[in-house]
Amino acid sequence: MKDGDYLFKRILSGLLVSAMLTGSVVYLTGCSNSQNGSDDNTSTNTSTEYAHADKIDNGTILQCFSWDFNTIKESMADIAASGYTALQTSPINACLEGENGGMQLYGDGKWYYHYQPTDFKIGNYQLGTRDEFKAMCDEAEKYGIKVIVDVIANHTTPTTSAVSQDLIDAGGGSLDTLYHKNNAYDLNDFSNRLACTTYKMGGLPDINTERTSFQDYFIEYLNDCVACGADGFRYDTAKHIGLPDDPKEDDGFTNNFWQRVITEVNNADNLFIYGEVLQGNNERIADYIEAIGHTTASTYGSKIRGAITNNTLSKGTVSDYWLGDAPLNMVTWVESHDNYINDGNWYNMTKEQVILGWAVITARKDGTPLFFDRPYYSSVENEWGMNRIGTEGDDMYKDKSVKAVNFFRTAMIGEDENIVNPNSDSTAVMIERGTKGAVIVNTKDALKTGFETNLADGTYVNRVDGKTEYTVKNGKLTSDADIPANSVVVLYNDGYKKYEAAAEVGVAEDTVFNIQSGKTATVTLTCANTDNAEYALNGAAAVSYKNGETVTVSVPSGSDIATLELTAKNSKGVKTYERVVFATEVKYSISSGTKVYFEKPDSWGDQIFAYVYNDELYENETWPGIEMTKESDGKYSYTFTEDWETPYIIFNDGDFADSQQYPADNGLTVEDGKTYTIE
């Protein structure tokens, strides 16, 4: 979640054989058939070894944003083969079942409902059951992958009628005692530490995390996660939970939440724990690092995004983590789910640019990089892509540049870093690790070689493309080829291991994921690096396919989705998995005279607009739309003056820097006479 209720304008939107510790790197050898649950016993054991860091601090984390437990389990081979040390789940707690259980990331369902706890027990309708979570963790252990759970302690769902009685009892027996006394106030002043840690933030009721009985209840939840196989936790909105010396309400409790949850949870000494502490105003980041162990470095992420999009990778920008004198115990990212969704990063930065940024932060010595995997087939024109909770995200997380730099990071553990701009050109940056390796990121025009380097003399092959050679002699790096624009070059020999290319499966880029009711769709299937790709449609028996073949997809009777599961193995028997979901397309009409109402929050301005559009890119007026009619204090109306086919509506308070809108993204469907309120 993100500080405040900040809404931004969008118009349209196997079997474990051995684990040998070598230095600080773990090499995992597996038998892919048994560890992937395959019934195919015809292939031999793999000789694949994936190098993982000995601990999460030294490796990389894959944020499996809104993937369900079964999808993560089925994708574990891909995650290991891509060089990650750990994965991070979305929140696994019981949560509000919004939109009658809708499973779209946005629309008929919302990704953020799993950030609205109703209880602190494992399992929810979006991600799966406790048994499925444990099975996922068991699979991760086979591959040497650690599991980090995203946890929320600061707030519950604003739909307080859905909060469980067990949680209420743990909070003192009533909703009033579960929450802070100051929960009656909305947080607007982030510089006020008492307000920041006890007021309601973004409409989410603020739990009294100082209450001993609540802490006991929450630690039980953490211990259950650990018992199932969790190796660490990410604390959402950590900045809103008080530090020991923070001011607090006069309720007889003390600010000891962090001390208890960090030290009293089982296996505490071996857990990787970090807090989301978004920088900006009085965030006390050094103190949170001391209290929790690690925090996020959000300002650094914004600086890297700006550097990549502006082609200005100066040494000063790249090197400064913007943490002041705080210890460098941090999780770094190019983007997080918050800024992707709330800050408009989805249309400001391409996936290719994200990968360039990832190469920069991952090649560095300090920090633990987190890779946010965007929704499947999202783009700068389409934020949500397939728009489905539970499925695997985009293939960008296993891009060849991402893989190469992940394994580079593991091989470079313990090596110092040196950051330079080759040829004094700030559109490119080289991150050297001792004399052992270097990563070059070039954001603009082709870059001439012949520049100075600390790399040891020798011949190096770019580990991204596996073929381009670079020579280092007498401190100069040369090649017959320029370094291409918008590319990553990864150079190292010591510690390099060659892995068989992973199998690839998917559907064509022009696939439409909505099917009209009663209709069928022809879907083109893709695959590479495999000779045994298969698809299973709506749970039927698997069918072999070749790259470019098509399948006819329809939504089964009694369901609103069709599911296509794609699997393949490479020559070493390592499995790749993808689940593609098609939903029934909603079509409806409204007539002229349809009237809707909107109740605005008190924090909004008094001039309210209705922006209406449809899939044909027709709109009632350019943003912010047409001004609504004030019916009474806080209530406004809008009357449609013409017939519409499948319109969507967004309410907002104008076109200015601090304007607010609802919803934050895709518009709402229109229902005659309905009064819309912010959930």
Polymer length of the chain: 679
Please indicate, yes or no, if residue 192 is contained in any of the structural domains: no
pLDDT bucket at 106, cuts 50 / 70 / 90: confident
Please indicate, yes or no, if residue 516 is contained in any of the structural domains: yes
The CA–CA distances, whole Å, from 395 to 303, 578, 615 equal 25, 10, 26
Percent of the chain with pLDDT over 70: 93
Domain end (from 359, 394, 411): 411
We report the CATH number of the domain holding residue 473 as 2.60.40.1180
Whether residues 260 and 329 fall in one domain = yes
Domain end (from 451, 470, 492): 492
154 contacts: CB under 8 Å, gap ≥ 6: 201, 204, 206, 207, 209, 236, 237, 238, 240, 241
Whether residues 303 and 229 fall in one domain = yes
> Tokens at residue 659, please?
């304007």
Distance separating alpha carbons of residues 244 and 259, to the nearest angstrom: 8
How many independent structural domains does the chain possess? 4
Mean pLDDT rounded to a whole number for the chain: 91
Whether residues 428 and 386 fall in one domain = no
pLDDT tens per residue, range 422-453: 999 999 999 999 999 999 999 999 999 999 99
Closest listed residue to residue 330, CA positions, set 267, 277, 408, 280: 277
**Mean of pLDDT values over 255-272:** 98
Whether residues 141 and 274 fall in one domain = yes
Please indicate, yes or no, if residue 51 is contained in any of the structural domains: yes
> Is the CB of residue 659 less than 8 Å from the CB of residue 623?
no
pLDDT value for 665 = 67
Identify the residue whose tokens are 């000779």: 531
Whether residues 212 and 108 fall in one domain = yes
The CA–CA distances, whole Å, from 524 to 527, 544, 564 equal 10, 14, 12
pLDDT value for 364 = 98
Whether residues 389 and 406 fall in one domain = yes
Identify the residue whose tokens are 């009237």: 595
Please indicate, yes or no, if residue 279 is contained in any of the structural domains: yes
Whether residues 213 and 73 fall in one domain = yes
Whether residues 579 and 603 fall in one domain = no
**DSSP tag of 482:** P
pLDDT value for 21 = 30
**Mean of pLDDT values over 517-543:** 95
pLDDT value for 264 = 97
Whether residues 390 and 470 fall in one domain = no
pLDDT tens per residue, range 485-501: 999 999 999 999 999 99
* Whether the predicted pLDDT of 7 surpasses 50: no
Neighbours of 264 (CB within 10 A): 13
Please indicate, yes or no, if residue 147 is contained in any of the structural domains: yes
Domain end (from 448, 466, 492): 492
- Is residue 387 helix, strand or coil? coil
Planar angle of CA 259, 262, 265, nearest 5 degrees: 120
Out of 27-41, 204-218, 446-460, which region has the weakest mean confidence (pLDDT)?
27-41
**For residue 558, what are the domain limits?**
504-585
The CA–CA distances, whole Å, from 67 to 48, 76, 346 equal 26, 12, 19
We report the CATH number of the domain holding residue 652 as 2.60.40.10
The CA–CA distances, whole Å, from 653 to 251, 345, 430, 638, 650 equal 39, 22, 46, 14, 10
pLDDT value for 35 = 30
pLDDT value for 587 = 78
336 contacts: CB under 8 Å, gap ≥ 6: 63, 296, 298, 301, 370, 372
> Is the CB of residue 533 less than 8 Å from the CB of residue 553?
no
What pTM was computed for the model?
Answer: 0.86
pLDDT bucket at 588, cuts 50 / 70 / 90: confident
> Is the CB of residue 157 less than 8 Å from the CB of residue 93?
no
Please indicate, yes or no, if residue 164 is contained in any of the structural domains: no
pLDDT tens per residue, range 174-193: 999 999 999 999 999 999 99
Please indicate, yes or no, if residue 634 is contained in any of the structural domains: yes
> Is the CB of residue 441 less than 8 Å from the CB of residue 356?
yes
> Is the CB of residue 168 less than 8 Å from the CB of residue 117?
no
**DSSP tag of 206:** B
We report the CATH number of the domain holding residue 339 as 3.20.20.80
pLDDT tens per residue, range 144-178: 999 999 999 999 999 999 999 999 999 999 999 99
pLDDT value for 354 = 97
**Mean of pLDDT values over 238-246:** 97
Sign of CA dihedral 401, 404, 410, 416: negative
Whether residues 581 and 595 fall in one domain = no
Whether residues 54 and 145 fall in one domain = yes
Please indicate, yes or no, if residue 169 is contained in any of the structural domains: no
Distance separating alpha carbons of residues 270 and 41, to the nearest angstrom: 37
* Whether the predicted pLDDT of 99 surpasses 90: no
pLDDT value for 480 = 94
Element (H or E) spanning 645, and its range? strand 644-645
Give how far the C-alpha of residue 400 lies from the chain's centroid of Cα atoms, to the nearest Å. 19
Planar angle of CA 270, 397, 446, nearest 5 degrees: 120
- List residues with catalytic annotation: 236, 276
Half-sphere exposure of 433 (CA within 13 A, CB side): 27
Whether residues 482 and 628 fall in one domain = no
**DSSP tag of 528:** E
Closest listed residue to residue 429, CA positions, set 522, 512, 315, 271: 315
* Whether the predicted pLDDT of 566 surpasses 50: yes
Planar angle of CA 605, 99, 513, nearest 5 degrees: 105
